[in-house]
Each structure stands twice: as structure tokens, then as C-alpha cells.
Chain A
């Protein structure tokens, strides 16, 4: 039998992981909901941002907060670049072509990263304290990213609900034809959405750096999981994606402690597949 304290610790780690997954999933979900294209290579953009951060901090000696801002800027630039170079030429193509173009980007980014930086794991070194409460450890390397990702999520929420641009973005995700008739330029909205999505990727990269070392195939670890969270929450449904992140992260954390890491993922994916059949529109959707 597993010591309950391990389970409690796993559950808490799950919540911490959930915050970061939510950030990843919301960035992708925003793009998904507005532009209606799955960026298969989304987490590989995160990987590039993590490398950027590594170089800023470990190689050029920038302070961490500046490096993180740099990584966020790199993410936003990547988002705009991907949209202009790859997505906008194929907006009218069949969905399979759109999936594959960003899938090609996945191969490109992973192998180009291998070429440039080899497959060695690179990490930014931290010396941060860890607190103990009732036999459970709360390391700052988990608490800080969690707190920052919650702040970022609130920021995204405010942006989407309280600004003109955010409202326009939400409107497009509800009805793209009508929005063009209302005089909002879809081109500009797509561009801003991609930039915000990329920015979230940069931020997620900076926060993931607290706990993970980066390597060219980092995206494979979180990529499929991120798509599944988006679908589980309902494509374009921000609140749903948020809830789904925590469900998935809890399953992975707890099952990872009880069985093994791989089984944690297997169970999470099986839950996803089953949920897909029970609630195809996402966990928070009303049955249509």
C-alpha cells in the first residue's frame, strides 16, 4: 500500500503541473478556437523559447527575469512568424493539409534544434528554497511557476473580456463570417491571436524551465497531452481547457506515483478517449 503522504504530495504536484498545462493548453486553444487550425508544433515552439531562455541566462549571463521576458518576446515573434509564413498561405486548404504543414514544422524544429544544439539536456540552474508543511515538501521551483501561470491566466482572461481586441477575438471564435461583416478585420485578429498564442508559449517555456531541462524532443513529452486537454475542454472553450488541465495533471501525477510515469500518461489518454465518446463537445459542454 502506498503511503497516503505520497499520494497527497502527488496530488499537490498535480495541481502545480496543472497550472503550467493550463497555460500551454490555453495558448493553443486560443489559436485553435479563433483560427480553427491545430498547431501540431505548438509545444515545439515552447521548446525553442526554453532554449532561448537557456542561452540568455546561462550563456549571456542575463538575470533570469530579463531572460524570461526575452523568451516571451521570442515566443510572440515565433507566433507571428508561423502565422505569416505557414498558416496564412494555407488558410483555405483542407484540414489535413493544415495539420500536416504544422506537423512539418514539428519535424523541422526538432531536427534543426538537434543540429544546432545537439541532443544534450540543457538546464538553467536555480538555488531556490523548499518549504515543508505536514511532511509534504513545497519546493519554490513548483510554487513560483504555478503562481505565475495563474497570474498569466487571469491576465489572459482580462485581455479577452475587457479589451476591444479581446472581445473581437472571442467574437471571431464564435462566428468568423459574421465578424468580417461587422467590420473587424480577420487578418489582424488572426495575427494578434497568433502573437498572443506565441507569447503564452514563451511564458510556458520560461515556467517549465524551473522544473525541466530542455532538449530537442521536449515537445513530444507535452505535445499530445496539450492537444488532448484542448479537446477535452472543448475546442475554443477557455474555462473547459482550464478544468481539463487539472484533471489530466492530477491523473498523470497520482497514477505516476501509484504505477509508473508511462502508465500515468496511458491512463490519462484512455480517460481522454473515453471522455471523447461520452462528451464529444468537451467536459463543460451541454449535450447537443
Chain B
């Protein structure tokens, strides 16, 4: 067993034991923060599946919002269990992802253009949710209809530990998918496409197919994250789950952590959530806006001074200090 694998196993054991660690009155709060970290890391990881191949999407809020709203509306209006609602949400999101990705890949919409097209998609979803206010609650958002008691069918539980373990499993699932992609042939193909599409096509890589495939995978996982988040918070809002704000937040966390490594998105998400929570606790209701101001400032500084992300920079540093063979990264 390699040291890396042992450390990973120890981490998982520690996380699995998390809820039984006695934390007194803090427990509920710590669990709440941890669930958020799990879910948003999963979403960040889903974004990184595309981002690492230079498909920079600024519209993952669209997929997140579609997922969360589809499952929530199906449950609220038709009483359909979020398990099936989630399947419908993923199917719908995947369809939208194909509609966006197919022309983008066929017509070589890349770089800035791709970022702006996806940004438009995110805004369209946000505005549609607001426009359909009779049904979706508009910009006020909508609460999940309470099932009244703990229910596996409605995925509603009073005990946060249930969500903690569900979040942990979700997060591990995200890491597993990331590893599968990382070790697949598709990765080499996608890297070649990211470097030079024409060259990749000329050596027989089916550019369109790979791009659509990775976009659909990333979008579907993001939708799953959206459903999970909606179930946990039991409230959905177009500004927190769709549009440019949340899309940028996802990308920030990932780039801050480092998008080319397995744990980069997790590290970035954990740090941004910890920072946001810390600032919120420090400032409370005084100085409204100050917490976000510092958040924005730190983001700018970290992008200027830590261009390969915190995790990436630390690993480079470690590699230099101990002379460990640094893995070649883009």
C-alpha cells in the first residue's frame, strides 16, 4: 500500500467516524458545514471534469438549477419521490447539455466564446425560473413540501447524520468518477483535444463525441449535486442555484484548490466554505457585505499569487523540498 493510499484510507475512516466524535453543542453546526463541503466538492469535481480539458464553463449554475428545480417541482406539485425526480432531473439536464455541447463542439466554439455561451445558458435558466413565478416561486425561491416525518421516499430526515453519510458517499462517488476518467483512454483523447482540436481530429480522435460525452457527464453529476443540495437545504432559490453568481463560485473553489488534481476541488471548496463561515461568524449581522468583500479580495489575491491553486502549489513545494518525483501536470 502506497503512503498516498494509506493517507486516503485514514482520511475516509476519520470522516466516517466524524459524527461520533463528541463535539457537544457544536456538533450540529460542524455536521452542517461538512455536508455543504461534501456536496459542493462533488459539484466542483463535476465542473473540473470539463475544466481540466480547457472546457471552461461559466454556466454550471444552469445544470445545478435544472437539477434542483426539476426534482423539487416534481415533488411539490406531483408528489413524485426525489429518487425518481432526480432521475428525471439528470435526464433533462443531460438533454440540455447535449443541446449546448453538440453545436459548440461541431462549430468549434472554444475558449472565451465557450465560456460566454455557457454563461448565457446559466442566465437563461435563472431568468426562466424567475419568469415562471406562478409555478417556481420566482426570485423568492420555493421550499420543499415537508413530508411531516422522516421519510426515505421523500429523502427528508430530521437527523443531520443521515445527510452527513449521504454526502460522504456522494463525495466518494465523485472522486471515483474522477479517477475513472483520469485513468481512461478518454483522458488522453480529451487532453489532446484541449491542446489542439485540429491535430487531435487528424490523428483520428472523434472530437465532437468526446466533448459531448464529457459535457454530459459533468452536467449530469452537477444536476445530481443540485438535487442533493435541494434535499438537504429543502429550499431552492434561482439566485443561489442558477445564474452567474453560483457558476462563478463553483469555478472559484475549483481553481483555488487546483483543477488538475483529485483532491483539488475538495480542498478549494473546503477552504472557501470554511472562510465564508468564519467571516460570517466574525462579522455576524454587523458590517453587512464585509465578509463577501474579504472573500472577493482573497480570491483575486490567490489567483494572482497562487496560479496553480493551493493544493497544486503545496504539492509543487513539497516536491521541491523532498525531491519527490513531481508528476507532470499541465
Binding site for B on A (CB under 8 A): 38, 40, 86, 89-90, 93-97, 99-101, 103-116, 118, 216, 220, 223-224, 227-228, 231, 235, 260, 262-263, 265-266, 269-270, 272-273, 276-277, 280
Contact = CB atoms under 8 A, between A and B. Distances in A.
Contacts of B289: 111-116, 216
B58 interface: yes
Given A262-B131, A276-B109, A280-B108, A101 B123 contact: no
A72 B58 CA distance: 30
A100 B257 CA distance: 13
Given A108-B300, A228-B116, A223 B255 contact: no
19 contacts: A38-B116, A86-B300, A90-B303, A90-B307, A93-B307, A97-B307, A100-B248, A104-B296, A110-B292, A111-B289, A112-B293, A114-B288, A115-B288, A220-B244, A223-B244, A228-B120, A276-B113, A277-B104, A280-B108
Interface string B293-305: 1011101100110
B299 A104 contact: yes
Contact of B124 (A101, A103, A108, A269): A269
B26 to A, nearest CB: 28
B36 to A, nearest CB: 18
A14 B303 CA distance: 39
B124 A270 contact: yes
B287 A108 contact: no
Q: How large is the interface on B (under 10, 10 to 19, 20 to 34, 35 or more residues)?
A: 35 or more
B296 A118 contact: no
Interface of B: 51, 56, 58, 100, 103-104, 107-109, 111-113, 115-117, 119-121, 123-124, 127-128, 130-131, 244-245, 248, 251-252, 255, 287-293, 295-297, 299-300, 303-304, 307
A25 to B, nearest CB: 13
A104 B120 contact: no
B125 to A, nearest CB: 9
A75 B289 CA distance: 23
B313 to A, nearest CB: 13
B303 A101 contact: yes
Interface SS, B side? helix
Contacts, number: 143
Nearest to A109: B296
A266 B307 contact: no
B116 A115 contact: no
A40 B117 CA distance: 14
A82 B287 CA distance: 25
Nearest to B295: A107
Contacts of B131: 260, 262-263, 266
Contacts of A106: 248, 296
Given A277-B109, A280-B109, A97 B117 contact: no
Across the A-B interface, the 4 shortest Cβ-Cβ residue pairs: A108-B296, A111-B292, A114-B289, A115-B289
B299 A107 contact: yes
Residue with the greatest number of chain B CB neighbours at <10 A, chosen from A96, A118, A270: A96
Contact of B299 (A95, A100, A116, A262): A100
Given A100-B303, A110-B296, A272-B120, 12 more contacts: A86-B300, A90-B303, A96-B56, A100-B255, A103-B251, A111-B289, A118-B288, A223-B244, A228-B116, A263-B131, A270-B124, A277-B104
Contacts of B297: 104, 108
Residue with the greatest number of chain A CB neighbours at <10 A, chosen from B100, B108, B124, B130: B124
Contacts of B104: 277
A235 B113 CA distance: 9
A167 to B, nearest CB: 25
A55 to B, nearest CB: 18
A269 B112 contact: no
Nearest to B111: A95
A66 B257 CA distance: 47
Contact of A100 (B127, B252, B287, B288): B252
